[in-house]
Amino acid sequence: MYNNKKKLALRYIVLIILVIIVVFLSIVSKVVNEERKLTLVEQSIKDTGLFINKIIYAPIKFINSKIKEVNEKKDLYNKYKELEKRIEELDLVKAKNDELERELNSMKKILDLNNTLSSEEFLNATVINRNLGYWFNTITIDKGSNHGVKVDMPVIVSEGLVGKVISTTAFNSTVKLLTNEDRSNKISVKINIGQKFVYGLLTDYDQKKNCFIIEGIDQNVDIPIDSVVTTTGLGNLFPSGILVGKVKSIETDNFDLAKIVEIESDVDFNDLSFVTILRRKEIKQ
Amino acid sequence: MSIILPVMIISFFLESICSNFISINNSLFIPLFSIISLVIIYPYFNNDDFKFLQFCGLLGLFYDLIFTNTFIFNMVIFISIGIIIKLVNFFISNNALNIILISSITIIAYRIITYFVLCIIGYLNFNIQIVYKSIYSSLLLNIIYAFLIYLITDYFSRKYKIQKID
């Protein structure tokens, strides 16, 4: 009798534990897989926590920047000479740029294009912390909805595309990096071959080889190594023309039907300190 | 409390600050100071396990909200880690050398549990090598941190006669 009661109690305990595990997994699945909007309470806690973090980090950041400054000063004269040469070329480039911009605007009017890089404005941000969840491949930056940052805005550095904003609070945003393993993170890209473009989908990131994978490219197309890969602007998420990387190698898939292209990005995803958010320009009527 | 709260708060923010100086993927020095702080503070709860697990859950919840943009995920995992720390402490006494062992077990458990949960929900693809990498890249720095913070807290607990289990 006593043993039966004990067995029954044990069964209930196992059942309760199983239910808790299932509930936990369903909640985590929803939270991690779906890009949800943070509640007001979550936003306030996050902002407060990161504000304290910023205050603690400030003196360390100051010392770090001073050390960098001292190191850079050693090479100051050579840099000055290099910049002097560039200034001479600057007027010429500026005039050419104005002319190209005018041409581009008139062409955009004719073609009714509105998803190009020139229709974006740049917002610089500092990285507050990097990939603390390890598996999530995200960074937190110090610009939020108060600065005009919205979910899904592209984030770049001078070397190319970095990722996109996945959540914002009033003063901070979280950016999901392109190196994220999340399979729903597909981006439409084009490979520039002379005057032609080959379109494909950036589907994966190979951690071992440190390169991105493009799939869905016709077997009969010849793609030279070092061809430049940029975003297409399709899907309305990323504007057209953001640099993603260069073609590193080309393989065929298991069925010999399509090509798999490996791309190497110049972005050092391991060392991101400052990034730029692309914000759509508001059209003045 | 005079040791528990400072250790937790310092470790929590230090982890975030350290992440800015350490490369995202290819590093041997990935900080997990919040988890290590749980190992260090356990003896100061003097077998009040429920209170210890409450602190684990609270730290996990803040970790979720402030750093990882998730909800409940780290809270439950930190509580599980708390239970593991309690079990390990049941068999191993608390001293500077054993702290290294307990910290290693905790880091391994944390990495494996998180990876398996994320694989089960379909966020990550299963690849055992990635788990190995995540474990060995976290061990070195965190063991050094655990050892140092143990020596510091032990010194203060002796100086101010703060009670703890050994």
Q: What percent of chain A has pLDDT over 90?
A: 2
Residue A114: pLDDT band with limits 50, 70, 90: low
The mean pLDDT of A9-35, rounded to a whole number, is 86
Q: Residue type at B89?
A: N
Round to whole Å and give the CA distance between A88 and A83.
9
DSSP three-state, residue A33: helix
Write down the pTM of the prediction. Answer: 0.82
- For chains A and B, CB pairs below 8 A equal 119
Mind giving me the DSSP string for A110-139?
A: HHT---BGGGEEEEEEEEEEE-TTSSS-EE
Round to whole Å and give the CA distance between A49 and B63.
10
Cα of A197 to nearest chain B Cα, Å: 32
Interface test with A, best of B69, B111, B114, B126 (most A CBs within 10 A): B69
The mean pLDDT of A78-101, rounded to a whole number, is 81
Q: At residue A283, does pLDDT exceed 60?
A: no
Angle between helices B128-159 and B33-41 (to 10 degrees): 40
pLDDT in tens, B68-126: 888 888 999 999 999 999 999 888 888 888 899 999 999 999 999 999 998 988 888 88
Residue A36: pLDDT band with limits 50, 70, 90: confident
Is A114-178+270-280's fold the same as A187-264's? yes
b/e code B45-71 from CB counts within 10 Å (16+ = b):
beeeeeebbebbbebbbbbbbbbbbbb
Judged on CB neighbours under 10 Å (0-12, 13-18, 19+), A1 is exposed
* pLDDT for position B79: 93
pLDDT in tens, B2-38: 788 899 999 999 988 888 887 776 678 888 999 999 9
Closest partner residue to B121 among A33, A134, A136, by Cβ?
Answer: A33
CATH number of the structural domain A187-264: 2.40.10.350
Identify the residue with better confidence: A280 or A112: A280
Q: At residue A285, does pLDDT exceed 50?
A: no
Given an 8 Å threshold on Cβ–Cβ distance, is A127 in contact with B20?
Answer: yes
Q: At residue B144, does pLDDT exceed 50?
A: yes
- Which residue of chain B is at minimal alpha-carbon distance from A51? B66
Given an 8 Å threshold on Cβ–Cβ distance, is A56 in contact with B13?
Answer: yes
DSSP three-state, residue B141: helix
| Domain map (residue ranges) of chain A | 114-178+270-280, 187-264
Domain topology for A114-178+270-280 = Thrombin, subunit H (2.40.10)
* pLDDT for position A193: 84
What are the chain B neighbours of A179 within 8 Å (beta carbons)? 24-25
What are the chain B neighbours of A270 within 8 Å (beta carbons)? 23-27
DSSP three-state, residue A201: strand
Given an 8 Å threshold on Cβ–Cβ distance, is B13 in contact with A273?
Answer: no
Q: At residue A3, does pLDDT exceed 60?
A: yes
- Which residue of chain B is at minimal alpha-carbon distance from A269? B24
- Which tokens is A6 given? 């004990």
Tell me the ipTM for this assembly. Answer: 0.84
